[in-house]
Structure 1
């Protein structure tokens, strides 16, 4: 029992330490420039695509593969974090992140890409603030307009024009699925880099949509053949 208590106390101390470090990192970032000011800068960018002009299939595909509880959580997904933490502990490395769409956006908005525990803690504070001030549609809109799609394309407008020569509202279902899959590993899944890996990722996204009951297997099969 004493050993268990010691382990619990140690875990609490570690969490408290990195929690404080993360909060300080978050505070420095928002003091440098508040989140609302950064958001307005994004909305004023050339090619900014409002939520109403994003294809619903792109929205569904992205949420399915990146953050299937996006509509339900408060900015952090405790289930995903717990699963990722267990995976990382077993691997003794940062293998899985467990980040929500909200966390991914604030990471790109406020912080560096360094995989540090204190930065993950800072993400949580920033994600909670963002969710308290903006709707889910606004958060997804901001994410879609800033996420990196590989090949030098930031935001869905640049990606749609760059890869397909069309604006986001004109994307086909297959193109939506492809774009939903790229941000997980842009350098690998960009069709300009490796078409075979891109196709594998497309199939993975379609599988996730079937698994999450967004589309039927027959529709997934139809979309998979769309680019042939």
Structure 2
């Protein structure tokens, strides 16, 4: 006796076809924006190679070498901006996946997922405008930076090209502008505060909303606890310092 073949449920079939169509659209979109991003990257390096841009940054007045950065500031920045910085190859697939899901949920670019290397690429080569092709271009530039420069060099270049609000570009200008001292003399609370500013300079500038700046500093310190750089007791003690 032949077994009767089960009929496929029409609703399941519809959703299966819908998922397949969405997957195809996603793949096509990835290919399209990757191609546009690669073209954007090639145009940027053709205009001026990465090596030339790096030398220009290093020759800027007020450039702060890695050796003059407090270890606490380095740890704080990596912790809050890109805690897998030492391990990834310039892009963090976990962070990108989380950002994509958040952006889809919110139907807007609300989370970046960019690594420190990608942010450096953006600062050096591209505009701040949020476009998918620019995000793709960042990836190609980040891979080049990671192949030609050490992590210390990438970090050094990143903090010297970041905007810290109030017209201050680079950690050196920001340290003198906000605290009247070079980065090497910053206290731990001041380091944490500077580490938190580039995420949203106009909001977290100490010269702006002091409450917001303090809240952001606490977020930085909490991230250091979460990443096991500080104990909760150490973070709480630093929070009492204020600025």
TM-score normalised to structure 2 length: 0.92
**Counterpart in 1 of 2:170?**
155
Task: Determine whether 1:72 maps to 2:81.
Answer: no
Matched residue pairs, number? 228
Measured in 2, the distance between the counterparts of 1:15 and 1:137 equals: 31
Larger Rg: 2
**Counterpart in 1 of 2:115?**
100
**Counterpart in 2 of 1:195?**
210
Instruction: State the Cα distance separating 1:2 from its structure 2 match.
Output: 4.1
SS at match of 1:192: coil
Structure 1 counterpart of 2:65, from 18, 30, 50: 50
Measured in 2, the distance between the counterparts of 1:123 and 1:83 equals: 18
SS at match of 1:158: helix
C-alpha offsets along residues 49-88 of structure 1, whole Å, 9 cap, x if unaligned? Answer: 1111100000000000000000000000000000000000
**Counterpart in 2 of 1:126?**
141
Measured in 1, the distance between the counterparts of 2:108 and 2:31 equals: 21
Structure 2 counterpart of 1:14, from 19, 23, 29: 29
Measured in 1, the distance between the counterparts of 2:22 and 2:196 equals: 39
SS at match of 1:131: helix
Instruction: State the Cα distance separating 1:164 from its structure 2 match.
Output: 0.7
Structure 2 counterpart of 1:117, from 132, 147, 152: 132
Structure 2 counterpart of 1:61, from 66, 71, 76: 76
Task: Determine whether 1:136 maps to 2:126.
Answer: no
RMSD between superposed Cα atoms in Å: 0.9
Measured in 2, the distance between the counterparts of 1:7 and 1:143 equals: 37
C-alpha offsets along residues 128-149 of structure 1, whole Å, 9 cap, x if unaligned? Answer: 0000000000000001111011
Measured in 2, the distance between the counterparts of 1:130 and 1:117 equals: 20
Measured in 2, the distance between the counterparts of 1:10 and 1:191 equals: 45
Instruction: State the Cα distance separating 1:26 from its structure 2 match.
Output: 0.4
**Counterpart in 1 of 2:221?**
206
Return 111-120 or 2-11, whichever deviates more.
2-11
Structure 2 counterpart of 1:23, from 30, 38, 41: 38
> Once superposed, which parts of structure 1, at least 4 consecutive aligned residues long, lie more than 4 Å away?
none
Instruction: State the Cα distance separating 1:203 from its structure 2 match.
Output: 0.6
Structure 2 counterpart of 1:166, from 170, 173, 181: 181
Instruction: State the Cα distance separating 1:6 from its structure 2 match.
Output: 2.7
TM-score normalised to structure 1 length: 0.98
SS at match of 2:147: helix
Task: Determine whether 1:91 maps to 2:106.
Answer: yes
Q: Unaligned stretches of 5+ in structure 1?
A: none
